[in-house]
Structure 1
Amino acid sequence: MRDTIDFGIDLGTTNSAIAVVEEDGGVAVIKNNDGWDITPSAVWIPKPGVVHIGRRARERVHSDPKNAAAEFKLEMGLADASKRFAKAGTTLTPPQLSAEVLKSLRADAAHHTGSPPEAAVITVPAAFALNQNKATLEAATLAGLSAACPLVQEPTAAAFAYGFHDADDRAYWMVFDFGGGTFDAAVVSKRDGDLRVLNHAGDPNLGGKLIDWAVVERILAPAAASALGLADFHRDNPVWEGNLAKLKGAAEEGKIQLSRRDAIELTVELTVGGGDTETFEYTLRRDELDRVAEPFYVRAMNLCRNALTEGGLRPDDIDRLLLVGGTTLAPGLRERLADSRDGLGIVLDTTLDPTTVVARGAAIFASTVRRPDPTSFQPAAGEFALQLAYEPSVTTTTPVVAGKVHAAAPVDWTGYGVTLSNPDGQPPFRTGRVALNAEGAFLTEVAIDPRRTSRFAVELTDGSGAPQKISPDSLSITHREVEFGGPQLTHSLGIQLADRAFAPLLRKGATLPTEARKVFRTAAALRRSDAEAVVRIPVVQGERDRADRNRPVGMLEIRPLDVRIDLPAGTEVEVTFEVDVSSLVTVVADVPLIQAQFEAEINLDEVRTPRAEDLATALAEAEQRVAALRESHESDVPEVRDRLRRLDDEGTLTTARAQVRAAGVDAGEAVAAEARLREVGAELDDIEEAADQPALVRELRDLLADAGRLVSEVGHPVDRTALAELEQRANEAIESGSSARIKAETERVTEFVVELERRQPGWSVRLFYALCEQQGRMQPADEARRLIREGKEALAAGDERALDSVNSRLVRLLPREEQSKIIGLVGR
């Protein structure tokens, strides 16, 4: 009887695998019916009631695309994504397709161990969004696994496998996980038995699939179109779906073969006009593959550099680069990674199979997680149930075991006791008789053998010493030399403020489970008489300062019907975020004024495939912005030039164009295109900010000049000291070249100027009238109109304090870059 979950599943885009920790503590990758360690994540349904998974299905994906499916992991979490199997007359969603793969893996495990696992640890990309994680848990339930299946990030699982395999006591590693559909990097620290992931970076839409399609679209399809006279031979043309599926299969197989050879002969039977077939032949060379794959390699390495920089590390601080995922088998990528000038220059570690290491690590993690306790704590008459509390995997040899005994009827526990024994221990171990307290509970220390699993029998005796039947009657504890530091939050979580700024409550890297709370104030009043009014607090995840550049995940809403009294502007709202070990989120807003709580609607079931037309519009906007930057600023500001070059090196817009073209026929590509374009938009925000840096510097210097004038006119000695400090900080920010630091110091000087201006008569009135002139630039417009009415009422009443409050709220409705300008304008 297993006490821990023990099974780990890598549910991959291209291939999946399952591993188990055996009773002797070793890890075994379970082979499928074909004798393979990996099972292709593919489903073929040729007729009703017949479902094939794995190798046979993978072969049919390219020859029978209307009745086979693969790479559906990339569509997980989309409410409208599905695959129609024409001959079977059935439609399956991505979670249902994934469930079929999980069922196949469970059957392989049943063949290996005698029974299918009830639960397993399932891995997900570190960069997966909340809806994708939820869809993965749905797939597990559909496959017959327990709802208590933990999720763990793929690079974390890989680090776990290496950590338990490696003898180093102190080291820094980087996991380089380049799979079929996703890329993840993780910086890992191993220190005196503590294995901890320090930082993540990744792209849920960067994988070997992109390389396969790049080979098709840039090499094979143009060659086939020329050789066979195929018109409009593009991926978004449904007429050629079958041909392109065959070329995709050939590209994938060629890529695999080129990991061992310099060139490979590809032969594909393609359909031409009239339904005839002709043979297309092409010699694919490794240097061709490397050329089209280069932008994807560059992006992966740049993400690694980002992860290192965020962690305050450099490549030469890392002892080894742990290669994970099938794409890392490519010699061209390995050569690039090892290059100290153009690559990462970190020693490569290939000691574990990159295609199964994630499953191995997931199994090791699973061996540290107790199985869901099936025991009922309402035992039958005359029997007893034991509720245990202990860590199943420890680094000490003297762990503590606690428990509580339950009976069907009230019991006087006086005289009852338990004994824990391990006769197979080296040496054998047995506790003394541990008396139960008045509630039937006990606590005791046991001794376990180093680097082994120790199994203890549990005996319950009554006051006369007679043994009693108890369930469970055993437990096991495994000693390990490495302890896992816990899963981490891979995206910051927070809310969007009224000025569209992002206010994170939980930062990326927090150990799970975790929670945080923070008090905010409403930007607008909520009057019960206004039935249309609503306080909306968007919940978002990501790392960008602009909330709308991050991913929306939910909405907190407070409506007039929800409150008993009017809520004035500035009402306190305490927001609490809770995240469990599988990264599932709960958000609650508490309004102390009315003693009421509101739970955010984290609706993950309505995320839909982006519209191809909207993606095309977003792509055109991004291309126009890039063109404008090249024309206006590239030659002026080195940072702009460097960052635009990075977009080119990573092939960002080229990839986005291909994904947008394919969005109409591939939901996964539509999701990838949306994510990539959102990231491009955020990157262009940063580049435009860098391009505007000279103007930011001028604005800061002008504000400092205003501050100097005001200090001369109305300042005190303490103001002169404060100004000197502000000037020093401003100069340091300018010298750093950081737009973010310059903006931060601009805000600081602006606050100082406002404080000085307020000492002069008529300041609040002048500011209010200046803000009225900027009303057209304020968002939301209805809130601006309401505040201006409120300001005019305060002006008529001569209430300067109320006018100050209105001014401060109006300023926040302006675009951030205009907020300091309005202060300087009024001051002059």
Structure 2
Amino acid sequence: MRDTIDFGIDLGTTNSAIAVAENDTVAVIKNNDGWDITPSAIWIPKPNQIKVGRPARDRVWSDPKNSAAEFKLEMGLADARKTFAKAGLELTPQQLSAEVLKSLRADAAHHCGTTPDAAVITVPAAFTLNQNKATTDAAMLAGFTAACPLVQEPTAAAFAYGFHDADDRAYWMVFDFGGGTFDAAVVSKHDGELRVLNHAGDSYLGGKLIDWALVERIMAPAAARDLGLRDFRRDNPRWEQNFAMLKGAAEEAKIQLSRLERVEINIDQIDESGDTQTVEQVLTRDELDAIAEPFYARAINLCRSALKDAALGPADIDRLLLVGGVTLAPGLRERLADPRHGLGIELDISLDPTTVVARGAAIFASTLRRPHPVSADAGSDEFVIELAYEPSVTTATPTIAGRVHGPAEDWTAYSVTLSNPEGRPPFDSGRILLNATGAFATEVSIDKDRTSKFTVELIDDKGAPQPVAPNTMSIKHRDVEFGGVRLAHSLGIRLADGKFAPVVRKGATLPATVRGEYETSIALSRADPDGAILIPVLQGERTRGDRNRKVGMLEIRPKDLMIDLPAGSDVEVTFEVDTSSLVTVVADVPLAQIQFEAMINLTDVKTPSPELLNGMLSDAEQRLTSLRRLVSTDRSGAAARQLDRIDEEGAVTTAREQVSAAKVDAGAAATAEERIRNLQADLDEVEEAAQLPALAQELEGLLAEATELVDRLGDAADRQELAEVRRRGKEAIQEQDSAAIRALIERAQTLLIEVERRSPDWPVKLFAVLQTAVPSHGQVSALIREGKRAIANGDMQALEAVNQRLFRLLPKDQRDKIELGGLNKR
């Protein structure tokens, strides 16, 4: 009986693998074909017959109506389905993934003699909450009876290298470029602890995009030209078979070009008459590298971002750990090694990039205890023991605690012994007396770099041994300790002003419980049944709330309240995130003495429609064109550099291709949505950068005005505040930080107003502003005449009264944006 989970699964887009930690080693379990990897493909040629792996992979190309692959990219989409024509069957991405997991589980049963009831399953670090939930659902469908913890793929790869490597102190970067996803992780190994410092990634950046780009830009145009095919597009159902064959040929050619400079491929294609013709094409490594360049560029830019967020640079990293099949490409390796165009970090390919994630997952699994039933039934004659210990430690003298349950009247007359006769040297704890509740704690000695297996014996009040369950346990000594699972995306709420307020920040060690304090932006009256405060729960890193992914909603409605809730009422929002990044969110309203739990709906994320995607893409392209014109006069600034990066990553071209394919490929639709979301967020940054010169000029003008006014009317505190704003303004302009400049503009304006208020003619200046700000109508006209009379008479008290009445007539700013209310920062 295993004490720890031990099995690790890399559930990949293109290929999957399973490994097991046993006998102080980690082994990749081979499948029935003798392969270390199992293609993530399903073929159902007739009812009640499901083929998984190698026999299915080939059919994906030749029989696309009855096969499926790359369904990992559709995980978490509630409406995604694959129809198998001959079997009359329709399966979700979770069900398809479950079939792959069943196959891997069967391989493990054949290898070990028993079927595992749990395994650690890896997911991309960039996976969203609904995608993680879909993965746990797939594990349940596959027959795993215990909870299957999730761990991020680059983290698992870091375990495999970390526990394999002898370096005591090092910084590494994991570069994980797989079939469907890309992840980067910055890892430190210091003083016996392996810690993931930062993640960056893209759930829709993988070898699949390179394959389809080869098809769309080179192979399909050539096939259409050679055979005279009309309307030859991926989204045309007539040519489904052709494009499936082209995709398979592109993937094979890409793999061969890892070893060869050029490949000749023969592709079966159906012509206009319905006959099958063989098309001959030649692809070169240079052509592949040119097509793949934008995808390589995006991956490298994500690495640079991860390093920057971790306050590190390429020079600080000792090695770049290559993971995933795409990293076998010589062109990518050459670019990565280049310090100017790549990262310039020493490449490490000492472990197989196609199985290293599964190995790392198994290592992590060996540190997690399997759940055991420990409580005896009331009146039972059996003794059971509840043990508390860490199954993987870096100390040679760990502590074991426990409590015995069973038919004893006086536990203090009982004792336990822990022994390891195979130890070096053998270990025996001697008799350890139990306390009145049947509990004990003791230190044991374990062997360095080995698994120490202990026998547990219970001795009763007469000195006789009694059977107890469990009666064995094991602890493994390691030189390296895992520093914990990290949150890959920040989680928080959208505020009433539309900004994102992170509560649990990216990089937090899981599990985590974090509370944020806010206040309501509007009042709620029980007499208004339609009133509401809606608080979107978001996942992401963007400052603008709508650029992040909505994962749930907190609702505070009058019908749930016992009292009216005034504006400005305190609201405490608590996030609880477990080690698999599954989240619970609760809002507590102390004044009303009530709590509201967020509806985290992870099962209703839908595939975006082609019409919606076309509209989103059109909006993004128009905005990009406008911004290009805006920054065309200055090609040296931050905005121009950001536009160059968008071009370098081929964001628009990739988005167009994926939008075009969205009609026939739910994975392409999800990819397109993510690409356009990222593009809009990048354009936000371009817009911010483009406005920098004007913002800097506005701040400098306000500072000049404030200097003259403070010299004339200010005091020591005003002069100190002015000096501080000027100092910070200089720094913000040098750093091109537009958000900081905007904040300083507000501070400068506040200072001006505060000092202006002390001026004798302040009411006159305010009156002049209000005259133009308040919409004109009869009452306003009368007030303006009254104000002018007060000025003519020198009656400042009367003028202030007029100003107050005019102020109350100002339109409520942005009323429509806070119609349902929200939260503000406290």
Within 2, Cα distance between the matches of 1:806 and 1:175?
A: 60
Match of 2:6 in 1: 6
Offset of 1:769 from its aligned partner? 5.1
- Give the match's secondary structure for 2:105: helix
Match of 1:479 in 2: 477
Structure 2: gaps (5+ residues): 777-797, 819-826
Aligned partners of 1:758 and 1:764 also within 8 Å: no
Aligned partners of 1:499 and 1:813 also within 8 Å: no
Matched, 1:209 2:208: yes
Match of 1:283 in 2: 282
Q: 1:770 to 1:595 in 2, by over 3 A?
A: farther
Offset of 1:709 from its aligned partner? 4.5
- What does residue range 166-315 of structure 1 map to in structure 2 within 5 Å? 166-315=165-314
Offset of 1:758 from its aligned partner? 5.5
Within 2, Cα distance between the matches of 1:130 and 1:589?
A: 20
Offset of 1:431 from its aligned partner? 0.8
- What does residue range 530-679 of structure 1 map to in structure 2 within 5 Å? 530-636=528-634, 638-679=637-678
Within 2, Cα distance between the matches of 1:371 and 1:747?
A: 57
Offset of 1:378 from its aligned partner? 2.5
Offset of 1:813 from its aligned partner? 8.6
Aligned partners of 1:398 and 1:445 also within 8 Å: yes
- What does residue range 63-462 of structure 1 map to in structure 2 within 5 Å? 63-378=62-377, 381-407=380-406, 411-462=409-460
Within 2, Cα distance between the matches of 1:502 and 1:724?
A: 31
Q: Deviations over 1:315-360 (max 9, x none)?
A: 1111111000001111111111111221111111010000000000
- Give the match's secondary structure for 2:538: strand
Match of 2:40 in 1: 41
Within 1, Cα distance between the matches of 2:685 and 2:68?
A: 39
Within 2, Cα distance between the matches of 1:382 and 1:315?
A: 64
Q: 1:803 to 1:41 in 2, by over 3 A?
A: farther
Q: 1:521 to 1:713 in 2, by over 3 A?
A: farther
Match of 1:819 in 2: none
Q: 1:478 to 1:801 in 2, by over 3 A?
A: farther
Offset of 1:643 from its aligned partner? 1.2
- Give the match's secondary structure for 1:743: helix
Within 2, Cα distance between the matches of 1:158 and 1:464?
A: 53
Aligned partners of 2:763 and 2:799 also within 8 Å: no
Aligned partners of 1:556 and 1:601 also within 8 Å: yes
Q: Deviations over 1:136-190 (max 9, x none)?
A: 0000000011341100000000000000111101111100000000000001100
Structure 1: gaps (5+ residues): 776-794, 816-828
Offset of 1:127 from its aligned partner? 0.1
Within 1, Cα distance between the matches of 2:167 and 2:646?
A: 38
Which residue identity lines up with residue 88 of structure 1 in the other structure? Answer: A
Q: 1:111 to 1:767 in 2, by over 3 A?
A: farther
What TM-score results when the alignment is normalised by the length of structure 1? Answer: 0.92
- Give the match's secondary structure for 1:88: coil
Within 2, Cα distance between the matches of 1:568 and 1:771?
A: 32
Offset of 1:377 from its aligned partner? 3.6
- What does residue range 796-807 of structure 1 map to in structure 2 within 5 Å? none
Aligned partners of 1:61 and 1:245 also within 8 Å: yes
Aligned partners of 2:639 and 2:685 also within 8 Å: no
Between 1:760-769 and 1:181-190, the stretch displaced more is: 760-769
Within 1, Cα distance between the matches of 2:553 and 2:641?
A: 37
Matched, 1:726 2:687: no
Which residue identity lines up with residue 83 of structure 1 in the other structure? Answer: K
- Give the match's secondary structure for 1:593: helix
Offset of 1:537 from its aligned partner? 0.8
Within 2, Cα distance between the matches of 1:536 and 1:549?
A: 18
- Give the match's secondary structure for 1:517: strand
Between 1:620-629 and 1:653-662, the stretch displaced more is: 620-629
Offset of 1:622 from its aligned partner? 1.1
Aligned partners of 1:4 and 1:369 also within 8 Å: yes
Within 2, Cα distance between the matches of 1:223 and 1:92?
A: 34
Within 1, Cα distance between the matches of 2:473 and 2:773?
A: 72
Aligned partners of 2:323 and 2:356 also within 8 Å: yes
Within 2, Cα distance between the matches of 1:45 and 1:534?
A: 50
State the Cα RMSD in Å.
2.5
Within 1, Cα distance between the matches of 2:146 and 2:503?
A: 28
Within 1, Cα distance between the matches of 2:396 and 2:374?
A: 27
- Give the match's secondary structure for 1:275: coil
Which residue identity lines up with residue 500 of structure 1 in the other structure? Answer: G
Between 1:644-653 and 1:795-804, the stretch displaced more is: 795-804
Offset of 1:747 from its aligned partner? 3.2
- Give the match's secondary structure for 2:267: strand
Match of 1:791 in 2: none
Matched, 1:717 2:716: yes
Q: 1:704 to 1:420 in 2, by over 3 A?
A: same
Within 1, Cα distance between the matches of 2:803 and 2:243?
A: 71
Offset of 1:647 from its aligned partner? 0.9
Aligned partners of 2:490 and 2:541 also within 8 Å: yes
Give the fraction of aligned pairs with identical amino acids, expressed as a percent. 65
Which residue identity lines up with residue 651 of structure 2 in the other structure? Answer: T
Q: 1:110 to 1:622 in 2, by over 3 A?
A: same
Match of 1:528 in 2: 526
Which residue identity lines up with residue 91 of structure 1 in the other structure? Answer: E
Offset of 1:468 from its aligned partner? 1.6
Which residue identity lines up with residue 159 of structure 2 in the other structure? Answer: F
Match of 1:789 in 2: none
Match of 1:825 in 2: none
Match of 1:818 in 2: none
Aligned partners of 2:774 and 2:811 also within 8 Å: no
Offset of 1:277 from its aligned partner? 1.1
Q: Deviations over 1:229-281 (max 9, x none)?
A: 01111111111111000000000011111111111111111111121111111
Match of 2:783 in 1: none
Offset of 1:86 from its aligned partner? 0.5
Between 1:374-383 and 1:544-553, the stretch displaced more is: 374-383
Match of 2:792 in 1: none
- Give the match's secondary structure for 2:411: coil
Which residue identity lines up with residue 372 of structure 1 in the other structure? Answer: P
Q: 1:461 to 1:556 in 2, by over 3 A?
A: same
Match of 1:503 in 2: 501
Aligned partners of 1:137 and 1:147 also within 8 Å: no
- Give the match's secondary structure for 1:274: coil
- Give the match's secondary structure for 1:369: coil
Match of 1:18 in 2: 18
Q: 1:448 to 1:811 in 2, by over 3 A?
A: same
Q: 1:611 to 1:798 in 2, by over 3 A?
A: farther
- What does residue range 684-723 of structure 1 map to in structure 2 within 5 Å? 684-712=683-711, 714-723=713-722
Q: Deviations over 1:52-74 (max 9, x none)?
A: 00001000001000000000000
Between 1:265-274 and 1:54-63, the stretch displaced more is: 265-274
Q: Deviations over 1:428-452 (max 9, x none)?
A: 1011211111111111111000000
Which residue identity lines up with residue 533 of structure 2 in the other structure? Answer: V
Within 1, Cα distance between the matches of 2:100 and 2:2?
A: 24
- What does residue range 464-475 of structure 1 map to in structure 2 within 5 Å? 464-475=462-473
Q: 1:104 to 1:797 in 2, by over 3 A?
A: farther
User: How many residues are aligned here?
Assistant: 794
- What does residue range 737-748 of structure 1 map to in structure 2 within 5 Å? 737-748=736-747
